[in-house]
Chains A and B, each alone.
Chain A
């Protein structure tokens, strides 16, 4: 290093004097300029003299080798610059600290100054000695020490060190770190704080320099390209740790890692790709009002910091108020122009407009430009200087649109032609990326310019292509990728791969350099795009079916009166067929909303309901067929048929002229069906209880929910439930395997609860006739499907049906529907019929009345029974409850019931009532008895409508006690006869719990959980009655041979005692809590674990009140006599 410097130094020495003179001159004006400065300088000269004196002797001694060898150390303390005539003075003022610092800084180059000072001292000191000596003392005394110190400090600063280009001659490779150098340590810091931390380290190093514990780091640095870390140069990690101590944002705990010596240099060599800007380059503005806007570089300052840009102005043409016009208010206004405010649109500067809006005094004309709000506008463009940092120079990708804006000059000047080369330049990088083997390209640059061919291979930036045409045909050549562009010729069918026209396809009509113009297949408009964004493509298409929030075939509201269906989507417009059959071209913003017609119902020509997705055909006119896309106001239907070419197959017609292609059943045709759906009394209760959605909507097909058996095909004999139907195809959820299969309805048979099968389409009883009773009550139940479709499907058993009917809930949970019933249309309807219930309207206990009037034994029965059960049923109909209860009791015996009923002359077709006449005694177990409730039919809407004298349902109830169970469904809300109380009687004494219930195999799994109680031991003196009323759990129950007493092992709850107890004394505890887990030990649900949903108010076991229970994880409700309900423990 020093070797290198010596020659340099020599050079300096020669030129030294010269330079010093220059320096002196340069210094002088600087020093003199402030008048203050002359003083210190004079003083300085004096001081120098003094020092000079002191040293004179020594200097003489060593004259030839630099006279001031002794002085040199002193000089070292000060700046030994070329003009160090004042050096000695400074020495006298002698601020030690500063000197020391100086020494550190300049110690290395003393020899240079040595030579220089020689001359200076000689010349200056002698010249000034005499002059200044005399005045020196005075002035010295005048000054305060502070002033002196200041003056000296200033002098120090003023000294310019000769620039020597230290170490410039050493090649960088020789500066590589060696093992003797300190190491670099990587320290994690908070991202974004790197620079602050480096600065903090520097300040800290200075602060603690002279303390007991100075920082031992040599340097620290940060690179912008290495976020989250800084590098500290130090001898050990400990020193780094120490240096970082107490700095916020440094994470030394994340490890201080040694940078391998070979990587040290590269850390300082990292270089981010820099884009150099030249006039004409396209850039984007990073932030502010023009954020994202394209701009063109007009000029650059030399250091590349300020860049003059030309861009399209965004002038606010609606200044908010007069205050905004007032320049004084500008400051106030600014903060309000936050991100929330709209930025003005891009618009070329128009002098007249600005004058109009802003007034004359805001715009001034200067040469060809206008000055407005401190910005210069030329040719309509804003010309403004931006900082380099405020620009985006990478990935600018200007679009053709943007660029053409720049060429569209107000005055139509010469620049009208698109500077394609500039654009090409801007998008060149991207162009390389979009090339693919097989692309047809042409070379537009370099020696091979003009050659075209097919790309074989792309290797980095080099494209290998097979030339075509001319004499080069077939030759392979390698061309830099930036020199080629895709080649298209008129007639090519192309597709746009990028940009705003993405996915547009069309035929090329012209090619100009790299701009290709094609006619869009969709809009038939000419579109110009860069060839780089194109590909040859055979496809024609719209690409997407969605623009904004709207999709193809959406029903959209265009204005208050008009709706339409989107039948075609173009790039950013829709073609919409409105309800008047007119086609409109609509922009997304013209659509006020999308409409949902999935729930809309309309009626077709036959009065069928018409829904979205129904397949229909026109009954008049052209007889077009189609699928209903939407209905509007129950009047217009938008249909779609792929076979119709016009309007994409969408056409509009009136719903009244449509007929369903798939014939619907008669049932739904009837007005009755529709009306019943509209009857709030019918719908309301259902809504509250079972998942209301399904109920409210009603079935599309009455088969939905039916329990069916597959009779053909691979699934033959499988049982399932119809979940959905579509024409002849039904989706059937199989009981087994939890699968849903699609199957032809032909292969299905309705499965009756008794296991019998019947064709699905067997005509159902029409509600408004009391219809010939079928042998099967379910058929009739089916007609209620509307209200309880899945009940039937899932549980083909009467209890279920009962249990799930809304009526149950309604009656037990809500104010008795019957009470309400009086107000429903149904009631009114019935009241119009010659139905005794009509009278019931007024009084809430029609039954009473009715019974009272008829010579019906039930009437009396009712009287008798009333007291016992009346409590169970809502205040509104206690009488009814009672009334039904009694007959039920007798029901087992009574076939007379039937007759009574009929004779009672309810007006119902007698046969309807007669048929069910099944012996009630058949009991719960016989399926046939369940079919009894034919009268249920009476409960159908027809009843409510009062179209028939169907009302006498109660008669039916009384007639067949078993039937009572099924009745409630039917009657849900409307018929008083449905009184739930009917059930109570129905359980005759013949229905008991099997004394050996404990040993029923279906209960085995639950045995240990059964909560039981010991009863009856007192009277039997069994075990002295000690265990009477003790509760416990069954440990084991084994059925013994018939001749032995049946026993079970019980553990008692209170003391944990275990012993065998005779089974007949073991009685289930009473389920008393809502949500209690229970096991059903009798009836159809035997063996099922359920949950108590609702408890009867009255839990007299002997009367077998009902407990409403539901399966644990389903929302279904069953009614089970409480004696069959055994609570389960954990």
Chain B
């Protein structure tokens, strides 16, 4: 379960560049990203948070039931925790993270919706 930001309008809300989960910066700092902490390791690391999350996102999804939700599946967040997700996130994860993913054989899909297949 991701932390649900208390302030919906807050300009400071950040979306994870990898999984698009939206949290308040403080939550990223405390707990990291609920889905990709293993890769991004943002916990207690403001620098990582700054480089791996962004305030540049558009559209907010409340994923209540990820397993059954088509929206979550479409957004490729069906396997992630429940929480708030962004529809579109501008930006890419840092290159070393991308490399890491590649080395694991995971294809990185930017969440900016610029290329879709």
For A277-320 the 0/1 string (1 means CB < 8 A from B) is 00000000000000000000000001111000000000000000
Q: A175 contacts which of B40, B58, B60, B73 (Cβ < 8 Å)?
A: B73
Q: Are A198 and B105 in contact (CB under 8 A)?
A: no
Cβ-based interface call for A388 (8 A): yes
Q: Are A175 and B74 in contact (CB under 8 A)?
A: yes
Q: Are A11 and B70 in contact (CB under 8 A)?
A: no
Q: Are B73 and A233 in contact (CB under 8 A)?
A: no
- Could you tell me which residues of chain A, from 375 to 414, have a CB within 8 Å of some CB in chain B? 387-389
Question: Residues of B contacting A336 with CB < 8 Å?
Answer: none
Q: Which 10 A-B pairs have the closest CB atoms?
A: A165-B106, A166-B79, A202-B62, A160-B38, A221-B61, A218-B69, A181-B70, A199-B8, A160-B37, A163-B39
Question: Residues of B contacting A219 with CB < 8 Å?
Answer: 61-65, 69, 71-72
Q: Are A198 and B38 in contact (CB under 8 A)?
A: no
- Chain B contact residues, CB within 8 Å of chain A: 1, 4-5, 8-9, 11, 17-18, 31-32, 35-41, 43-44, 50-51, 54-56, 58-65, 67-76, 78-84, 87-88, 90-91, 94, 101, 104-109, 113, 116-117
Q: Are A196 and B9 in contact (CB under 8 A)?
A: yes
Cβ-based interface call for A264 (8 A): yes
- Chain A contact residues, CB within 8 Å of chain B: 8, 11-12, 15, 23, 26, 30, 81-82, 101, 104-105, 108-109, 157, 160-173, 175-177, 181-182, 184, 195-196, 198-203, 205-206, 215, 217-225, 233, 264-265, 268-272, 274, 302-305, 387-389
Task: Provide the bound-state CA to CA distance between A223 and B4, in Å.
Answer: 18
Please give the distance in Å from B79's CB to the nearest CB on chain A: 4
Task: Provide the bound-state CA to CA distance between A274 and B54, in Å.
Answer: 15
Please give the distance in Å from A813's CB to the nearest CB on chain B: 70
- Which B-chain residue is minimally distant from A301 (CB atoms)? B50
Question: Residues of A contacting B81 with CB < 8 Å?
Answer: 105
Among B39, B41, B87, B107, residue most surrounded by chain A Cβ atoms (within 10 Å): B87
Task: Provide the bound-state CA to CA distance between A389 and B90, in Å.
Answer: 13
Q: B38 contacts which of A23, A167, A170, A176 (Cβ < 8 Å)?
A: A23
Q: Are A161 and B9 in contact (CB under 8 A)?
A: no
- Which B-chain residue is minimally distant from A200 (CB atoms)? B8
Q: Are B74 and A172 in contact (CB under 8 A)?
A: yes
Q: Are B51 and A303 in contact (CB under 8 A)?
A: yes
Please give the distance in Å from A668's CB to the nearest CB on chain B: 76
Task: Provide the bound-state CA to CA distance between A30 and B41, in Å.
Answer: 11
Question: Residues of A contacting B63 with CB < 8 Å?
Answer: 218-219
Question: Residues of B contacting A233 with CB < 8 Å?
Answer: 69-71
Q: Are A199 and B38 in contact (CB under 8 A)?
A: no
Q: B87 contacts which of A12, A200, A206, A268 (Cβ < 8 Å)?
A: A268
Please give the distance in Å from A307's CB to the nearest CB on chain B: 11
Q: Are A201 and B62 in contact (CB under 8 A)?
A: yes
- Which B-chain residue is minimally distant from A265 (CB atoms)? B74
Q: Are B59 and A268 in contact (CB under 8 A)?
A: yes
Q: Are B113 and A269 in contact (CB under 8 A)?
A: yes
Please give the distance in Å from B17's CB to the nearest CB on chain A: 8
Q: Are B108 and A162 in contact (CB under 8 A)?
A: no
Q: Are B79 and A167 in contact (CB under 8 A)?
A: yes
Q: Are B69 and A182 in contact (CB under 8 A)?
A: yes
Q: Are A168 and B76 in contact (CB under 8 A)?
A: yes
A to B CB contacts below 8 Å, 9 in the list: A168-B106, A176-B74, A199-B84, A206-B4, A218-B70, A221-B87, A224-B58, A265-B74, A303-B17
Q: Are B64 and A205 in contact (CB under 8 A)?
A: yes
Q: Are A202 and B71 in contact (CB under 8 A)?
A: no
Q: B94 contacts which of A203, A269, A302 (Cβ < 8 Å)?
A: A302
Question: Residues of B contacting A165 with CB < 8 Å?
Answer: 101, 104, 106-109
Tell me whether chain A's interface is mostly helix, strand or loop, or mixed. Answer: mixed
Please give the distance in Å from A153's CB to the nearest CB on chain B: 11
Q: A161 contacts which of B38, B70, B88 (Cβ < 8 Å)?
A: B38
Q: Are B91 and A303 in contact (CB under 8 A)?
A: yes
Q: Are A8 and B105 in contact (CB under 8 A)?
A: yes
Please give the distance in Å from B66's CB to the nearest CB on chain A: 8
Q: Are A199 and B4 in contact (CB under 8 A)?
A: yes
Q: Are A268 and B41 in contact (CB under 8 A)?
A: no
Task: Provide the bound-state CA to CA distance between A170 and B76, in Å.
Answer: 9
In addition to A170-B76, A223-B58, A304-B56, 14 A-B residue pairs with Cβ atoms within 8 Å of each other are A163-B35, A163-B40, A166-B76, A168-B76, A198-B60, A198-B84, A199-B5, A206-B82, A215-B64, A219-B64, A220-B62, A225-B58, A302-B94, A303-B90
Question: Residues of B contacting A8 with CB < 8 Å?
Answer: 105-106
Known contacts being A199-B4, A220-B62, is A303 close to B74, with CB within 8 Å? Answer: no
- Which A-chain residue is minimally distant from B1 (CB atoms)? A101
Q: Are A221 and B107 in contact (CB under 8 A)?
A: no
Task: Provide the bound-state CA to CA distance between A160 and B45, in Å.
Answer: 15
Known contacts being A160-B38, A162-B38, is A302 close to B65, with CB within 8 Å? Answer: no
- Which A-chain residue is minimally distant from B68 (CB atoms)? A218
Task: Provide the bound-state CA to CA distance between A447 and B82, in Å.
Answer: 54
Known contacts being A182-B68, A182-B70, A303-B51, is A171 close to B117, with CB within 8 Å? Answer: yes
Please give the distance in Å from B107's CB to the nearest CB on chain A: 5
Among A165, A206, A215, A389, residue most surrounded by chain B Cβ atoms (within 10 Å): A165
Please give the distance in Å from B114's CB to the nearest CB on chain A: 8
Task: Provide the bound-state CA to CA distance between A219 and B87, in Å.
Answer: 12
Among B8, B51, B82, residue most surrounded by chain A Cβ atoms (within 10 Å): B8
Q: Are A108 and B67 in contact (CB under 8 A)?
A: yes
Known contacts being A163-B18, A163-B106, A223-B87, is A218 close to B71, with CB within 8 Å? Answer: yes
Q: Are B90 and A304 in contact (CB under 8 A)?
A: yes
- Which A-chain residue is minimally distant from B38 (CB atoms)? A160
Among A26, A169, A196, A268, residue most surrounded by chain B Cβ atoms (within 10 Å): A268
Question: Residues of B contacting A161 with CB < 8 Å?
Answer: 35, 37-38
Task: Provide the bound-state CA to CA distance between A1113 and B46, in Å.
Answer: 84
Please give the distance in Å from B99's CB to the nearest CB on chain A: 14
Known contacts being A163-B35, A303-B54, A305-B54, is A203 close to B4, with CB within 8 Å? Answer: yes
Question: Residues of B contacting A225 with CB < 8 Å?
Answer: 58
Q: A109 contacts which of B79, B87, B106 (Cβ < 8 Å)?
A: B79
Q: Are B4 and A202 in contact (CB under 8 A)?
A: yes
Q: Are B65 and A195 in contact (CB under 8 A)?
A: no
- Which B-chain residue is minimally distant from A108 (CB atoms)? B79
Question: Residues of A contacting B54 with CB < 8 Å?
Answer: 303-305
Task: Provide the bound-state CA to CA distance between A160 and B9, in Å.
Answer: 29
Question: Residues of A contacting B5 with CB < 8 Å?
Answer: 199
Q: Are A268 and B71 in contact (CB under 8 A)?
A: yes
Known contacts being A269-B113, A303-B91, is A11 close to B104, with CB within 8 Å? Answer: yes
Known contacts being A199-B4, A233-B69, is A222 close to B59, with CB within 8 Å? Answer: yes
Question: Residues of A contacting B76 with CB < 8 Å?
Answer: 166-168, 170, 175
Known contacts being A199-B84, A218-B69, A221-B71, is A172 close to B116, with CB within 8 Å? Answer: yes
Task: Provide the bound-state CA to CA distance between A108 and B80, in Å.
Answer: 10
- Which A-chain residue is minimally distant from B43 (CB atoms)? A30
Known contacts being A196-B8, A218-B65, is A166 close to B108, with CB within 8 Å? Answer: no
Question: Residues of B contacting A268 with CB < 8 Å?
Answer: 59, 71, 74-75, 87
Please give the distance in Å from B30's CB to the nearest CB on chain A: 8
Please give the distance in Å from A926's CB to the nearest CB on chain B: 92
Task: Provide the bound-state CA to CA distance between A590 and B36, in Å.
Answer: 68
